[in-house]
Amino acid sequence: MMGLSDGYTLANGVKIPCVGLGTWKGDWNQPDNGVVSHAVQAAIEAGFRHIDTAASYRTEEGVGRGIRESGIPRSEVFVTTKLWNDVRGYQPTIDAFHKSMKSLGLDYLDLYLIHWPNPVAFRDHWQENNAETWRAFEDLYKAGDIRAIGVSNFRPHHLAELARTATVSPMVNQLPVSPGCILSETIKYSRAHNMAIEGYSPFGTGSALKLPEVEGLSKKYGRTAAQICLRWSIQMGVIPLPKSITPSRILENTGVFDFELSAEDVDILTNLHDGADTPVEPDTSNF
């Protein structure tokens, strides 16, 4: 990867940029105060062409406004949003999608994800509910409303269950990926089934930046800890989604294409087993 506009080709031929701006908690309590829209504009000015949001983040409106106010053509920005845990089933999913599109103010979506495989509200029948939800995803995709569809936080058994009834396979699995937090078996399974891997919380919600190994490599390469984490993700073939609302940090996160970690240093960060975030287990979470 040579820059932010480079990327991967999904299983259906759609291009996805190699780094995206995350917007989780970017505007959590005040969705209309302009924080997210300004961050999106700063990201686009810095070269980002990939923005990630979700219904549960309450940032869809700010993301859409930021894209419009940036002045660049809609076709140049890859936009993702996600279906939250309070919605499952065919028609509720269709309705939730249109609600998100209204919030975003967009005519089409680049990527739509099921945010969570086994919400507590649907835990007794998650398989059937996911199947009906995915059927709605497939129909929206076939109608041209969405360019690509996928999942988030799905482990191999969730993916295998979804495959029993799916006619279109997920093109993306979005997972927590940072030094000290990597779901190796899930990534291996997902890639074997032609899914690209997006990595949310690439800094481990801050904990990875303080790891001695990351700090050591920061000094070795003369780069910030954040840049080390992002460069590691890129070399792992993962699409990182760093979140920031600070223009200077957004710009800092673009400085990851003019250096390369050695294979040995990539292995050091890949094989860390503690010190960073522990992934939430989808089948036992309380949300």
* Residue 286, Cβ density class (10 Å: 0-12 exposed, 13-18 middle, ≥19 buried): exposed
Q: 157-164 — which CB contacts under 8 Å span 24+ positions?
A: 158/117, 158/118, 158/130, 158/282, 159/189, 159/190, 159/193, 161/127, 161/130, 161/131, 162/130, 162/131, 162/134, 163/193, 164/131
3-class secondary structure, 194? coil
Annotated binding-site ranges for substrate:
115
Q: Contact 133/93 with Cβ under 8 angstroms?
A: yes
Residue 78 is inside which H or E element, if any?
strand 78-83
Q: Contact 78/111 with Cβ under 8 angstroms?
A: yes
Parallel, antiparallel or unpaired: strands 50-52 and 172-176:
unpaired
Structure tokens belonging to residue 211: 């790891």
Gyration radius of the chain's alpha carbons: 18
Structure tokens belonging to residue 110: 């680049």
Residue 152 is inside which H or E element, if any?
strand 146-152
Could you give the residue numbers annotated as active site?
Answer: 57
Q: Contact 273/175 with Cβ under 8 angstroms?
A: no
Q: How far apart are CA 201 and CA 243, in angstroms?
A: 8
Annotated binding-site ranges:
115
